[in-house]
Structures are given as structure tokens and as C-alpha cells.
Copies of this chain bind each other. A is one copy, B any other.
């Protein structure tokens, strides 16, 4: 049994293996897919709502022929309200399901409780903390769109302070070689200092760039992010961040083979006209999430459906 709580729960080899499995799964026909998790049951407990991520996991289970037990509003509706500890919830839901996909507001509580779970726990985004399957689909998208991960020049843009997808992605990039990261962000939304120090210690090459055009010209991949207005505290932060919008006029700056990624949802930090450019990869990125989550769930449940 193997929980997926953090990007640290993967090795470079495991990431590459999951990418390979995702590629395999997307070549299979619907009937071929539909038998692979037959008989398995996966619970989705969402203490913070996220229809997108939940449906992505549930689609992965459904397409592989498994069954879903869904709690769309777990925070309101579960025994948490009656004072139950999360580890008790895991023990009980673990009687019904073979794995639990959870989005929880308290990462530490989730990690601690996972220690008591009889079934694998998959972190589907924890408060301002980790979102390891998003990082998986992000590197999968880099690999799929650009043919490799090692050696890429990656520009990370927008809200680097509160954006948990950025944090998880940067951590996962430390598994790869010769990554050259350019950080483009307003002063108030820089990476947390401790994370930056940790990443540098792991050898990730990162440099801040104030000139957005220069960053766009130089990069193989631009990872644009939404300002987390629900987490950002001051209006100043929002206004500063809104300077970094990708507009149609920026497309000519991009290299012909570059790619724009975005974890979505997008508000206005990428102009919708950009969508039509083939270098806009964010909707394909969302689809990649389906396949990498299929690969992950299959890996976690392979003993169950053997």
C-alpha cells in the first residue's frame, strides 16, 4: 500500500513509469479500458469543493470500469461536523472503498490521519499545500508536448506565493536534470522563502525575470497561473499580478515550438484569443490529467483487482 500525499512520494523513475503507463492507457479502446478496475471502489471525499479535480478522478475510475463513492461536500456533510477525527473517517470509508481520493483543507491533519488508513489515500489538493497529481499531469504535459523534461527552460508566471500547483510542480522538477526556471511575478507574490531555499538546495536553477517579454522569448514552456484571489490578501497583490497577462500580441515572442500551460481554471490571465494558437496546451493538459490519474489509480489498486 502506498499513499500519494506529496510530490515527495514519487521518485523520478516512478514519475516516468506513470507517464509511460498513461501513454499506454490512452492508446486503449473504451472496452479495453473498462475492465481494468472492474470490481474496485474509489471514494472521493472533497472537504474543499473542486468539481474539476473531482470529476477528473471520477472519470478516471469510471473509464477503467471501477465504481465511485462521491462526497461532493464532505466538510458539511460528514461526521467531521460531529467532531470525528479524520483518521476515523479513513478507517470507516476504508471499509467501503479500496482507495480514498481526498481534498482537505488541513494538510497536516490529512498526512497524520493517512497513517491509520487501511487503504491508499490520494491527496487531491490540500489547502495552500501540496497537489501532487497536478504536478504529475504538469510534467506529463511537458513530456508529451515537448518530447522531454530534462533540459527544459520553464517560465513560471503569476502568483508564486499562494499557487500550490506551482509549488508542487517546482518540487517535482527537481527530479529532472538541467531544468532552467525563470520566475516572473509581482514583488508581493514571490515564492515562499523556505520553499525557494529548499529548491535551490536540491539544485534547481531558478532566476527571477522582471521583463515578461524576455522570459517568453527564452522559454520552452510558460506555466501561467491564476491569482488565487481567495487566498491573496491585499488588493495591491491582485493589481500587481494582473500585469502578467498573456495576450495575442505576445504570441509572436514565443518560440515556434514553445508551449503555454495553465493548471486552470483561467480567469483573464490568458486572453481567450490565445486559445486558438496551437502552442496553447492548457486544455490538452487537462485531458492529460485524466490519463495520468488513471495510471496512478491503476498502480495503487493493482493488488485489489488482480
Please choose the segment from A78-86, A145-153, A245-253 that sits at the chain B interface, where 4 or more of its residues have CB less than 8 A away.
A78-86
Cβ–Cβ contact B88 & A266, under 8 A: yes
Cβ–Cβ contact B59 & A286, under 8 A: no
- Is A115's beta carbon under 8 Å from chain B? no
Cβ–Cβ contact B41 & A93, under 8 A: no
Please choose the segment from A50-58, A181-189, A198-206, A213-221 that sits at the chain B interface, where 4 or more of its residues have CB less than 8 A away.
A50-58
Cβ–Cβ contact A58 & B51, under 8 A: no
Which residues of A57-95 are within 8 A (CB) of B?
Answer: 58-59, 62-63, 67, 69-74, 76-79, 81-85, 88-89, 91-93, 95
Chain B proximity of A166: nearest CB distance (Å): 16
CB nearest neighbor in B for A76: B49
Which residues of A240-281 are within 8 A (CB) of B?
Answer: 264-268, 272
Residues of the B chain whose Cβ atoms lie less than 8 Å from the Cβ of A41: 59, 62-63
CB nearest neighbor in B for A289: B95
Q: How far is the CA of A96 from the CA of B52 in the complex (A)?
A: 10
Cβ–Cβ contact B92 & A264, under 8 A: yes
Cβ–Cβ contact A70 & B73, under 8 A: no
Chain B proximity of A188: nearest CB distance (Å): 20
Q: How far is the CA of A91 from the CA of B33 in the complex (A)?
A: 23
Q: How far is the CA of A63 from the CA of B95 in the complex (A)?
A: 12
Residues of the B chain whose Cβ atoms lie less than 8 Å from the Cβ of A17: none
User: Given the known A-B contacts A84-B267, A283-B91, A283-B95, are A51 and B71 also in contact in the complex, defined by CB atoms under 8 Å?
Assistant: yes
Cβ–Cβ contact B265 & A84, under 8 A: yes
Cβ–Cβ contact A69 & B78, under 8 A: no
Q: How far is the CA of A136 from the CA of B97 in the complex (A)?
A: 21
Bin the interface of chain A by size.
35 or more
Residues of the B chain whose Cβ atoms lie less than 8 Å from the Cβ of A13: none
Q: How far is the CA of A187 from the CA of B135 in the complex (A)?
A: 56
Which residues of A15-59 are within 8 A (CB) of B?
Answer: 30-31, 33-34, 38-39, 41, 43, 45-46, 49-52, 55-56, 58-59
Residues of the B chain whose Cβ atoms lie less than 8 Å from the Cβ of A52: 78-79, 89, 92-93
Residues of the B chain whose Cβ atoms lie less than 8 Å from the Cβ of A289: 95
Cβ–Cβ contact A72 & B69, under 8 A: no
- Is A194's beta carbon under 8 Å from chain B? no
Chain B proximity of A65: nearest CB distance (Å): 9
- Is A236's beta carbon under 8 Å from chain B? no
- Is A114's beta carbon under 8 Å from chain B? no
Cβ–Cβ contact B73 & A264, under 8 A: no
Q: Which residues of A contact B (CB under 8 A)?
A: 30-31, 33-34, 38-39, 41, 43, 45-46, 49-52, 55-56, 58-59, 62-63, 67, 69-74, 76-79, 81-85, 88-89, 91-93, 95-97, 226, 229-230, 264-268, 272, 283, 286-287, 289-290, 305
Give 8 pairs: A residue, B residue, CB < 8 Å, sorted on A: A41-B59, A46-B77, A51-B78, A51-B79, A55-B93, A82-B265, A84-B266, A89-B265
